[in-house]
Amino acid sequence: MSELQRKGVGGTDVPLTPDEEAALDAELAATDARFGDELAQLLRVPADLQQRTTVEVNDGLLARSSLSTAVDLVGLGWRTIRLLAANPSGEPDQAEETTT
């Protein structure tokens, strides 16, 4: 006989009957099986994981590329304005001719 007990009336410990133990064992066995199934379902890799990952990576790379292009265009405009402001005649300076 096992040492399993339950609280009886008045808070006293009462040993489980064999029928109660069998019912408890059956519930625990069913819970264990259900827990294992639910855990396996949670840990299962989604079928569309590769597709979702590919889409997210492509979107991230496209956003970075777009940002880089925008920064390059702003920088080009800034360099052009600086060049025209430094030399309004449009003629290249000696320093500019040696760098190009």
Structure confidence by residue, pLDDT tens digits, 23-75: 888 888 878 778 888 888 899 988 999 999 999 999 999 999 999 999 999 99
Residue 59 shares a structural domain with residue 90: yes
Is 94 part of a structural domain of the chain? yes
Residue 55 shares a structural domain with residue 36: no
Is 82 part of a structural domain of the chain? yes
- What is the pTM (predicted TM-score) of this model? 0.42
Residue 36 shares a structural domain with residue 69: no
Is 35 part of a structural domain of the chain? yes
Is 60 part of a structural domain of the chain? yes
Higher per-residue pLDDT: 87 or 5: 87
Domain count, the chain: 2
CA distance 17 to 9: 16
DSSP 24: H
The answer to whether residues 93 and 87 touch, using CB atoms and an 8 Å cutoff, is yes
pLDDT of residue 2: 47
Is 23 part of a structural domain of the chain? yes
* Structural domain boundaries enclosing 59: 49-99
Residue 6: pLDDT over 90 = no
CA distance 97 to 39: 71
